[in-house]
């Protein structure tokens, strides 16, 4: 049962890392920047947050993935 939980945590960790790193931060940041460029009035804060999301997308993905992968590996090696 604990091996199943460990594998589940690792798989969910990878999926969460992909979602937050790739979809929410990278693609969402690009969409946010493009929407601000196309807007009649640019909101500088939203524009800057979009750029920061794109820059730190890999870091956000790794941190969000490792929050579940590390406990999953610990359960498997226990």
pLDDT at 78 over 90: no
| C-alpha span between 20 and 67 (Å, rounded) | 12
Residue 32's alpha-carbon distances to 4, 23, 44, 53, 64, in angstroms, are 39, 12, 11, 9, 21
> Which domain covers residue 32, as residue numbers?
2-77
Q: What percent of the chain has pLDDT over 70?
A: 100
* Domains of the chain: total: 1
pLDDT at 4 over 90: yes
Tokens of 40: 């009649």
| C-alpha span between 36 and 30 (Å, rounded) | 10
Q: What are phi and psi of 46, to 5 degrees?
A: -65, -40
Q: What percent of the chain has pLDDT over 90?
A: 96
When the pLDDT of each residue in the chain is averaged and rounded to a whole number, the result is 96
């Amino acid at each position: 049962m604990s091996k199943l939980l460990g594998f589940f945590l690792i798989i969910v960790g990878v999926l969460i890392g992909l979602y937050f790193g790739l979809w929410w931060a990278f693609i969402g940041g690009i969409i946010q920047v493009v929407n601000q460029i196309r807007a009649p009035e640019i909101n500088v804060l939203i524009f800057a947050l979009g750029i920061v999301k794109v820059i730190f997308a890999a870091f956000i993905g790794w941190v969000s993935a490792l929050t579940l992968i590390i406990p999953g590996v610990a359960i498997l090696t226990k």
